[in-house]
Amino acid sequence: MYGIIDCDNCYVSCERVFRPDLNGKPVVVLSNNDGCIVARSNEAKKLGIKAGLPYFKLQEQFPDQKIAVFSSNYELYGELTGRVVDIIRQEAPQYFRYSIDECFVYLDGMEHIDLKQWGENLHNRIKKSVGVPVSVGLAPNKTLAKVASHFAKKYSGYRHCCLIDSEEKRIKALKLFPVEDVWGIGRRYAAKLESMGIHTAFEFATMPKGIVNAKFNNVVIYRTWAELNGIDCVPNEAMAKKKSICTSRSFNGMISDLDALKVHVSNYASRCAEKLRQQNTVASIVGVFLNTNFFREDLPQYWQFKEVNLPTASNSSITIVHAANEILADIYKPGYKYKKAGVIVMGIAATSPIQLNLFDINAERFEKLKALDKVIDRINKVNGTETVILAAQQYRHKNEQGKADVFANAIKHDFRSKNPTTRWSDIIRLK
């Protein structure tokens, strides 16, 4: 039996943990640079606020509504959802985190337990300990567990946990479930299925196997079809590490200056290195991409990507930032207004054992870099992210005298909340 634990309206719920006055009120969370709405409370959804709505249109379309607005605060969301996963780790025999707000569990050996009650108890413990509500879906495979999670979230009668453990429940759930919402289908395949007259998950599941293979010739679609029919066949990403890590952002405006681009790329590369260390892995390949604003047809367009192999696989911020900036210098072309850049690390493997390259850094320097990152990670964990950063990560602009001044943020987040669980400066003060 599998389960999936999904944080309800994750970003909004995290914001409400320290703002209980917003419970029951419309709340939205914006994307990077406060561009558009990426998360909505149930109250905001009832008002008709759509995901993806540009922020500048919110006041225009809902002038008489009091809507709480927050900038994305991934430091807060990551820390609180990490606490949710810690509780799941204690309650389930096996687990693997699927995304920032979802976690799969494998409930092997729990056949003697009332799983419906187990799911309800798990919701209650997480809500009491962390303050974030979750929905629990339980079923014989991952795809059906995702279906069950949908019903647990949508209908209060399930008391936050839906269990599909019989053929009757499976058929009933699939008849009520839109095919476009099935995990693994995607927008393009959903459109193709609907053009064939397939509108529900049940109609898709009852298609003959031969027709599914002939019409789609896609292993993911076939596995989805098989799982909807009760077969457990989606591989256990079990607990496998990510094969690549990407950090990218659209800029607040457009950038032409190479030095300014280097600062952004340095920050993205440093974040990739930090993620590698968090999962005890190293990368052997670093890639960087850079592109202009393709929506500005009045401007010249450019896109480029390049990757390099590191002499020795690494998770050192200094090593990965240095490699990323060398790539950037190579792919950068003057005369363009750039809108987005990103860093990708690939060739990911476990930190031990690492084979040092004969012509690369010596073992002593390798250990020094490792110790330096360990100290920086510890300081940033206690005092908040980016308390200590590399000099290359500092955003700068020129003042009236032409000298470079450091400023804190190149990303716009005018409505960002505090981080009381990760920064001493933001700790809650009781009157």
> 57-69, pLDDT tens digit by residue?
998 899 888 999 9
CB 277 within 8 A of CB 373: yes
Residue 376's pLDDT is what?
83
pLDDT in tens, 69-112: 999 888 899 889 999 999 999 999 988 888 888 999 999 888 88
Grade residue 224 by pLDDT with cuts at 50, 70 and 90: very high
User: Counting beta carbons within 10 angstroms of the beta carbon of residue 398, is it exposed (0 to 12), middle (13 to 18) or buried (19 or more)?
Assistant: exposed
By DSSP bridging, strand 161-163 and strand 37-40 are: unpaired
> How long, in residues, is the chain?
431
The percentage of the chain sitting over the pLDDT mark of 90, rounded to a whole number, equals 49
Distance, in Å, from the CA atom of 419 to the CA atom of 18, rounded to the nearest integer, reads 10
Q: Is the pLDDT of residue 126 over 60?
A: yes
Please tell me the pTM assigned to this model.
0.71
Residue 411's pLDDT is what?
61
Distance, in Å, from the CA atom of 312 to the CA atom of 291, rounded to the nearest integer, reads 29
CB proximity list for 395: less than 8 A, separation 6 or greater = 260, 263, 406, 407, 408, 409, 410
For the chain, list the domains and their CATH numbers: 10-71 (3.40.1170.60), 77-228 (3.30.70.270), 245-394 (3.30.1490.100)
Residue 353's pLDDT is what?
59
The HSE-up count of residue 377 (CA atoms within 13 Å, CB side) is 18
Report the pLDDT averaged over residues 338-367.
73
Q: Compute CA distances 335 → 215, 304, 338, 402, whole Å.
A: 47, 15, 10, 22
Residue 374's pLDDT is what?
84
Q: Is the pLDDT of residue 423 over 50?
A: yes
Q: Is the pLDDT of residue 3 over 90?
A: yes
Distance, in Å, from the CA atom of 66 to the CA atom of 60, rounded to the nearest integer, reads 13
Q: Name the H helices within 159-292.
A: 167-175, 186-195, 201-205, 209-216, 219-228, 258-278
Maximum distance among all alpha carbons in the chain? 75
